[in-house]
Each structure stands twice: as structure tokens, then as C-alpha cells.
Chain A
Amino acid sequence: MSQSSIMPGLRPTLGFTVVYLSLVVLIPLSTLVFQSFQLNWEDYVHIITNQRVLSSFRVSFSTALVAALIASFFGFIVAWVLVRYEFFGKRFFHALIDFPFALPTAVAGIVLATIFQPSGFLGKLLIDVFGVQVAFKPLGIVMALIFISIPFVVRTVEPVLLEFEASMEEAASSLGATRLQVFNKIIFPNVFPALLTGFALAFARGVGEYGSVIFIAGNLPYVSEIVPLLIVTKLEQFDITGATAIALTMLVISFVLLLLINMLQYWVRKRSGQL
């Protein structure tokens, strides 16, 4: 907090940031922690190790992880196409990408459930052709989460691809590199940190997603029940302490995972000379 700092306004802006964070993030979260203090350790362990709760954790985190991986892959391709090529209807396509941001997630959920249910348009097709049922299975959850999280990946990767110096590619080509080598050795390493950010955002969103999932998931305990739904169920039964215990656990796991992703990102940037 040097007084001679060239950028003025550290104190007011930092003050604002702290107040804002406290009001919007820290106070609600600490309430969650205090609420959970009403439980003793044995009760807490008992709630958390309940088979149904454990299953829901497994479903939530594994579907979010798979969905974030798939969304990263396709999101990267979408960003690539949007940045690299000119085609008819590009602007329309651009607007379409942000659609999941604006759409009420419940609407998305209902639409997805309608087309993927066994009698639905796509659901029937998939069962007939591949024998795969999407709705009411973890696969359905993955489907919904991909839909919700793709824009996070596209919008984080896109600016980095846009700013990418074309001359770096040209330099690599002039040194004899093939197109594939240019992509693997030059383009991808430069975009990877942004892709990792997109992945983290997609994953975080996937873990917390509720509205779009519950319709397509079918919410069968032990199979396709996600943690947020379990929390809501507990709350509806006025089991507030049970809900807080699960919520707190989820909070801690999410925090640790995001921290790990951030550390990975730091490591990647450091290794590639960007820090």
C-alpha cells in the first residue's frame, strides 16, 4: 500500500471491493458455516456418509467434470470457427452462443427433457439407433450441463484466439512446421490457459446447476439425483441442519477443486513464460 503508487484510488476501490465481497459473498457463506456449527461432528459425519448423499455427490461432481471436459472441447472448436472463418450468418451464430446465458435454466431443462425423453424426438432416435437412453440418466445431466456451460468456454477462449498474432503462425510455417505442428506447438499452448479458465467456469457452473438438470435427470435416488436437489429436498422437509451440512461439504469440495485448477493454471502460465 505504498503512498507513491502511480495508480490513485487504491483505498476507495479496495474498500469498495471488501464491502461488496462481504455483503454478497462472505456474509452469506459464513452464515452457512455458523449454521453448521449447530451440528456436532458425529451428526455431521452421519449425514454426509449417508449412501444417498454420497451417491448424489458422485453424480454431481462426475457429471459436472465430464460435461466441462466435453464443453471445453466443443467450445474451443466453436470459438475457433467464430474467430477464424467468415461465413454466412456468423453474427446470428454469435448471438446464439450467448443464448444459454439469457434463457431461464428451467426452460432449457424442460425443452431438453421433452426432446430427450424416450418418446421425444431425439430420445426415440437415440434409443432406436444406438440403444442409448439419455433422459433420466446421468447422461441426461451431462447433456443439460454441456448446454449450459458451453458459452463460458467460448467466451473465455475467443478473445485469446482473436488476439493471437498471426505472424507467430507464419513464422512457424516458414520454419518448416506442418499445419498440425503449428496448432500443437504454437497455437494450443498459447490458448491453453484461457481454455483452462473456461473449463473451470464450466465446471463450477455445472456443479451448482439446478434448474436445467432436474427436469431431464429424473432425480432417481442413487442414480441421477444431484446434490443441489438433495439440499432443496432437505429444506422442504425443514431439515435445515441436514441441508447446511451437505451445502457446506459441497462448498469445501468446490473450493478445493477450483483452487487446484487455479494452481494448475498458474503452473501452466509460469512454465510457458507468461508470468
Chain B
Amino acid sequence: MSILLSNISKKFGAFAALDNINLEIPEGELVALLGPSGCGKTTLLRIIAGLERADQGRVLISGQDRTHHDVSQRGIGFVFQHYALFRHMTVFENVAFGLRVKPRKDRPSNDVITKKVHALLELVQLDWLHDRYPDQLSGGQRQRIALARALAVEPSVLLLDEPFGALDASVRKDLRQWLRNLHHDLNVTSIFVTHDQEEAMEVASQVVVLNHGRIEQQGSPSAIYDQPANAFVSGFIGQTNVFDLEHHDTEWLQAAGLSTLHQQGKIVHVRPHDIVIEKSSAGSDAFVILKDWQHLGALIRIELVKSEANRPSASVYAEMPNEQFKRLQLHKGDKVDLRIRHAHWFH
């Protein structure tokens, strides 16, 4: 179901957690609310869920105003960061809970509940754990049970609060992929909160970037990465080199191939993979010194410093495929030429 938020604001004391948020989420999307901690993303998710009340604004779920509906009446599924499984119930009872608390006239029979719970547990590939208690499960298993529990009531919207935040890296990677596939199969409108831009880019079909209680940009992962709306988004999504024209040598940047003729702003962001380095040719004045490099799997991250020895300057990072780097046969301390292929300008 589609979600429409209009003019949502929320204050905690004097702190404005959310400032006039307008957001439309079409049906069937898998949306990431992305932002640094304290940006209001969890608060926004909780307002959509009805676990928190907005000071002003409206929440519409599939066209119906649900602003004043209690969380139990909204038809949402919520997955908590720390799972919030009922520790006094078995895995089976946890998943069955949402069905058992339905009013008697809507409540399915015991047989139907049993069948449905086992089907859900098979969906999350954990049916063999049905008689365990939550304390006996690993983090990844608990998260999957929490997801199965939320899905049991067939929510129109699935909300996940930092679903992978408390898991270790390898489990997180598996679960991300798994969540993406699950969403593909079920096609239920889903929103998840994360502070990890990589996770947002990898899992979501739409990314909403939040900062200081405002939406900075909304769009597909590629749009956000390729056309960042402002310096914050550019800096938050992926690695970037920041050049401030007031502090940096404009000539130096020009020599690196960056046209500063039509200055479109004062700040230049350059992605590491948009920087090309070559062995320094004689007579070039843009040379920088290769300080160090790190292996990032298929890529090499190269740390470069400007050659003015008397003035310590910030490092510039470039990235290139492993093979290409080997071919250049560079050593630490070598002088290299640097060329900027593409840059984003901001004010």
C-alpha cells in the first residue's frame, strides 16, 4: 500500500526531531530511510507505525488518514532493532501471537494458525527451531523470527528499524540479500531505517536521505549516487574528496583537468574512482606524491598528497582496479600526474 506523509513535524523538548516532512512512498517499494544518527529517521518510522505521535501533519496509508489510529489499528508490521521477541514464548507462539490476539470473530482456527505459522517459519527457513525460546537463538535467527512474526498478520506495510544493526558483518550481508529477495517475492511496501549507506544502496529500491530532521534527497540508489542534491548527500553516500575553492589552489585543480571557468559553486566533490593517476611525465606541474595504498578486494585505494613538502595538506584518495594499478608499477614516494574526470559542484 502507498504511504503519504504530509507536513510531519515532531519536537522533543526544544529539539526538532522532524521538521515539516513531506514524503510519498508508492506501493510495493522497498525504501531506505538513510541518515546519520540523530537525524530523525527512527522517529519518522515510529510515527508511520503509530508508536509515536507527530506534533503536526498527517499519515495516510493507502489513501486513508491513519494519523489518529493506534498502532494496533494501523495494519502495519514492525520489526525492532533488538528484535523484541517475547522471551516467555516459544518461536512458534511468537509468530502465532498476532493471530491469537485477533478478536474472536476474525480469529482463525487453531489448525489454520498452526499451518500458517509453519508456512511462515519455512519462509524464513527456521521451521526446525519452532519449539525453542528466543534466548536460545542467534541474532540472525531472532531477526528472521521477528520478521516472520510481523508478517503473520499480513500487514499492508512492513516497517523495519535498523533491522541489521545488531548483527555481525557476515550475517548482515546474507540477511540483506535475503530481505531483498523476500521483498521481491511478497511485494509488500517496506520501509527500513539504516545509517549504513552501503546497506541502503544495496537493499533499497528507493533511498530517502535525512539530515537534521529534513529530507535532503529522495530517489533511486543510482540517482542519489550519481546526482547528489547537495554536499551533505554527496559526502554521506560513499567516499568523496572535498575541495574547497577558497582553501585550495584553483590553478592546481585546473591543471588536474577540472574546468573552473564556469564555477558552479565553491565546493567541489570528487569521487575516488573519478580520479585517474598516471606516472608523472616531465614538465607536468600537477604532480602529487603517492603516499600509500590499501587493497579493497578488486579495487586499490590510493592515498595521494600534494608535493609541497613544507605545508602539510590533506590526502586525496583515488580508486582504481587492481590490475590497472599493477600495470602502472608505482612505488611509495613516486610522483604521479592526476586527472579529475568528473566532479560535483556545491555552494
A binds B: yes
**Using a CB–CB distance below 8 Å, which chain A residues touch chain B?**
165, 167-168, 170-178, 181, 185-186, 189-190, 272-274
With A175-B98, A178-B101 in contact, is A273–B135 under 8 Å at CB?
yes
With a CB–CB cut-off of 8 A, which chain A residues contact B74?
A: 174
> Would B71 and A170 count as touching, CB distance under 8 A?
yes
22 contacts between A and B (CB under 8 A): A167-B80, A167-B82, A167-B84, A170-B51, A171-B84, A171-B85, A171-B146, A173-B51, A174-B49, A174-B50, A174-B51, A174-B150, A175-B98, A175-B101, A176-B72, A176-B102, A177-B97, A178-B101, A185-B101, A186-B86, A273-B136, A274-B87
B153 at interface (Cβ–Cβ under 8 A)? yes
Given contacts A174-B49, A177-B97, A272-B88, 20 further A-B contacts (CB under 8 A): A170-B51, A170-B84, A171-B78, A171-B80, A171-B85, A171-B146, A172-B101, A173-B72, A174-B50, A174-B74, A174-B77, A175-B152, A176-B73, A176-B101, A185-B101, A189-B88, A190-B87, A272-B87, A273-B133, A273-B136
The A contact surface, by secondary structure, is helix
> Would B72 and A178 count as touching, CB distance under 8 A?
yes
CA distance A185 to B54 in the complex (A): 29
With a CB–CB cut-off of 8 A, which chain B residues contact A186?
A: 86
Output the least CB separation between A172 and chain B (Å).
Answer: 7
With a CB–CB cut-off of 8 A, which chain B residues contact A185?
A: 97, 101
> Would B71 and A173 count as touching, CB distance under 8 A?
yes
With a CB–CB cut-off of 8 A, which chain B residues contact A173?
A: 51, 70-72
**Using a CB–CB distance below 8 Å, which chain B residues touch chain A?**
49-51, 70-74, 76-78, 80, 82, 84-90, 97-98, 101-102, 133-136, 146, 149-150, 152-153
CA distance A125 to B92 in the complex (A): 55
CA distance A173 to B92 in the complex (A): 18
With a CB–CB cut-off of 8 A, which chain A residues contact B149?
A: 171, 175
> Would B78 and A174 count as touching, CB distance under 8 A?
yes
Output the least CB separation between A115 and chain B (Å).
Answer: 42
The interface centre, meaning the residue of A171, A173, A181 with most chain B CB atoms within 10 A of its CB, is A171
CA distance A177 to B96 in the complex (A): 12
Output the least CB separation between B66 and chain A (Å).
Answer: 13
CA distance A177 to B78 in the complex (A): 13
- Closest-by-CB residue of B relative to A272 is B88
> Would A177 and B101 count as touching, CB distance under 8 A?
yes
With a CB–CB cut-off of 8 A, which chain A residues contact B84?
A: 165, 167-168, 170-171
> Would A273 and B90 count as touching, CB distance under 8 A?
yes
Picked from A168, A174, A190, the residue with its CB within 8 Å of the CB of B72 is A174
Picked from B82, B87, B90, B97, the residue with its CB within 8 Å of the CB of A175 is B97
CA distance A168 to B135 in the complex (A): 14
With a CB–CB cut-off of 8 A, which chain A residues contact B80?
A: 167, 170-171
CA distance A185 to B102 in the complex (A): 13
Picked from A177, A178, A181, A273, the residue with its CB within 8 Å of the CB of B89 is A273
